Amino acid sequence: MVHNSQEEKDNVKKENQQVDAIPATKKKDASKKSFTYRWENHRYLAVRASYQFFNAIWTVVMAIGMFLAWLIAVLAT
């Protein structure tokens, strides 16, 4: 089978045009970081410290919840 390189180039060009036709609001922006990532890596120390504080609290709450779930499962059997 012989591939026509010009035909392949045309197909790639058409695909690129179709992608460009999609509105910018519909495209996924890969460069956009999540809120928690930006919060964790913020340039101000107070913002980063608040992330660490709330993350520590959330970790403790989840650990207590997991322990209670384990305890209920053990007592239920």
Give pLDDT, residue 29.
Answer: 60
Give pLDDT, residue 66.
Answer: 98
**Nearest CA-CA partner of 51 in 12, 77, 59:** 59
pLDDT digits (tens, 9 = 90+) for 6-62: 777 676 676 666 656 666 555 556 568 899 899 999 999 999 999 999 999 999 999
Higher pLDDT, 3 or 42: 42
